[in-house]
Structure 1
Amino acid sequence: MARVTVEDCIDKVDNRFELVLLAGYRARMISSGAPLTVDRDRDKNPVVALREIADETISVDDLKEDLIHSMQKHVEVDEPEEDAVPSRASIGSSVSARNDDDLQEFDRMSEEDLLRGLDGLVPPAQTDDDEG
């Protein structure tokens, strides 16, 4: 096959800059060991990548998705919809509607009670290493 040109590929990828990005990405894939979809014919990896795009032996859309995925630093995670997770307000209203006997009691401590409790604690024993 004769040398491939950008004009051979421009009907597959409309934007020349995008074509260069995709062909460069595919050439790097080839150099890292990806299987070829066309005969090499002593061509270098960028030329082989352009020939693959021109011959449509690889999907341009799949190549574009792979390129975008390889450049992403933060992968977006699908989070559950708001209806699936109850909000604090709905939890609070359902709890307040219950009987007071059903609620679990929590211990509350004032700052003064905490300080009095800390005063009564005995410090840990010092070792020879701690004496300095």
Structure 2
Amino acid sequence: MARVTVEDCVDKIENRFELVLLASHRARQIAQGQPITVDRDNDKNPVVALREIADEQLTPDDLKEDLIHSLQKHVEVDEPEAPPQPQPAIAEGTSGTEASAEDDGDSVTFDRMSEDDLLAGIEGLVAPEKNEDF
């Protein structure tokens, strides 16, 4: 293939800035050893990336998803949510306070502290010792 132009790629990815981001990301992937889908023809990685985009060897959506994934620090895995647990029925003879007293073993309680207590606790913290890792 002869020289690739931006006009060849703008048909596939309309935003030129997005085109630059995706082509540069793909060029970095090629530099890291990922296989190319077109003949190299003695071209450099950015030109090969643009040729792949122009020839529609790679879809822009896949490139976007891969770019976003590479920039994320923490990737959340979509796991199915657990079905809601049924709430135990309160017996007619008991009041709401008695039922909540029975469930205290299962519930989570949080301590409350004032802002002054929190600041005093933070001031009392000791910085971790420096080691070879830091």
Q: State the partner residue of 1:19.
A: 19
Flag the 1:40–1:98 CA change in 2: closer, same or farther, 3 A: farther
Aligned to 1:85: 84
Deviation, 1:64, is: 1.2
Give structure 1 stretches of 5+ with no counterpart.
107-132
The Cα of 1:76 is off from its aligned counterpart by: 3.2
What's the Cα RMSD here?
2.8
Question: Scaled by the length of structure 2, what TM-score is found?
Answer: 0.61
Report how many aligned residue pairs link the two structures.
97
- TM-score, normalization: structure 1? 0.62
Amino acid at match of 2:54: A
Over residues 25-61 of structure 1, what are the superposed CA-to-partner deviations in whole Å (9 max), with x where a residue is unaligned? 1001101111111111111000000000001112221
Q: Please identify the structure whose Cα radius of gyration is greater.
A: 1
Q: Give yes or no for the alignment of 1:30 onto 2:26.
A: no
The one-letter amino acid of 2:81's match is P
Structure 1 residues 98 and 43 mapped into 2: Cα distance closer, same or farther (>3 Å)? farther
- Work out the percentage of aligned pairs sharing the same amino acid: 66
Aligned residue for 2:91? Answer: 97
- Superposition pairs for residues 1-132 of structure 1, below 5 Å? 1-78=1-78, 80=81, 84-86=83-85, 91=87, 94=88, 96-97=90-91
